[in-house]
Amino acid sequence: MPWALGPPDGRYLLRAPGDPAEAAPTHVLVIATLGAPERRRLVTSRKKQREAQPEPEPSPVTTGRATVIDVGAPFDDVVQARVWLGNAGTDYLADGLEVLNRALHAFRLVTADPYLATVSPGQALVARIGFGAGEQVADGLWTDARELLDPQPRLRRLKVLQPQARLAAVLSGREQALACEELTLRARLDLDSGRDREAALQLHVALDAALAELPSDSTAAVLGERVSELRGLREPVGEAAQAALSGPLTPAQGEAVEFALGRIEAALRARAVANE
C-alpha cells in the first residue's frame, strides 16, 4: 500500500473470529514498512522560519507491506503447492484483505484512532500470491509466486462522470449531503467486514436518520414509496439492534439487517438520480 499501514512492524498471530485462545491459529500477519524517508528535526529560529520552495519536488512516501500467511493447512510438498498456485484466483486477494482489515480494525480500537481506515483492493500498489517456507514468506520472499491483480471493469463515461458531477453539486451547495448517507456507509463497511453486531447498531441509527431526512428532502415527491417501505423495516431493524446489545445476531436478524441496509442504499441511489 502507498502508506504505512499503522500497526508496528512485526508478526501477528490470528485465530478465527470467536475461537478460544487455545484454538489453532489460522493466519500469521507480517507488517513491514518500506521506503520510509529519514525523519529529521527541522531546526528553525524565531527570526527566520524555514521557507518552502515555490516549485517543490514531490516528497518521498512511505509504503507498507502486509504479508498474510495461511497456516491452517500447510501443503504436503512443492508439487501440491504449485497446483494450488496455478488455480489461485483473485478471491484470495479478498480473503487476504479481510484478514488485514481485521487487524487494522483491532489496531483502530486499541489505539482509539478514528482516522485509521480499512483498505480495499483498488488501493494496493501491487498484490502477489505464492508459497514458500515459513521464514521465507515472513520476509516477503517466495519459492514461487505471481502477480495477483484485481482487474477493475471499464466504466462507461457516464458512470465515471456522475460522481464528479454530484461532488461538484455537494461542494457548491447545490445539493445537500445527508447524515444518513454517512451512517449507511458505516453500516455497510461493518456488515461487509463481518461485524454483524456493529452493523445492526449502526443501521438502526442510519434508518432513523433516513426517515427523518428523506421526507423533507427536495426529492421527497419521488421517494414516497421508498420512505414508506423504510418505515415498515423499523421494527425488525430495532429488534436486531436490541439483540446486538447483548450478543450475536440470529440468522434471521442478520438477514433483516442485510435486507434493510440494501433498501436504504436503494433509496439513496434513487435520490441521487432524482437530483441529476
pLDDT digits (tens, 9 = 90+) for 79-119: 999 999 998 888 888 899 999 999 999 999 999 999 988 99
| Residue 4 backbone class (left: φ over 0; alpha: ψ -120 to 50; beta: rest) | beta
Instruction: Give me the chain's average pLDDT, please.
Output: 88
Please give the share of the chain, as a percent, with pLDDT higher than 90.
60
The amino acid occupying position 219 is T
For 121-138, give one letter per residue: b (16+ CB within 10 A) or e.
beebeeeebbbbeeeebe
Highest mean pLDDT among 66-70, 144-148, 151-155, 256-260: 256-260
pTM: 0.82
Count of C-beta atoms within a 10 Å radius of residue 174:
10
- What distance in Å separates the CA atoms of residue 87 and residue 270, rounded to the nearest whole number? 40
Please name which of 97, 100, 33, 31 lies closest in space to residue 60, comparing C-alpha atoms: 33
Q: How would residue 242 be classed by pLDDT, with cut points 50, 70 and 90?
A: very high
C-alpha cell at 99: 484478514
Are the C-beta atoms of 131 and 8 separated by less than 8 Å?
no
Q: Which of 39-48, 92-101, 149-158 has the lowest mean pLDDT?
A: 39-48
pLDDT value at 195 more than 90: yes
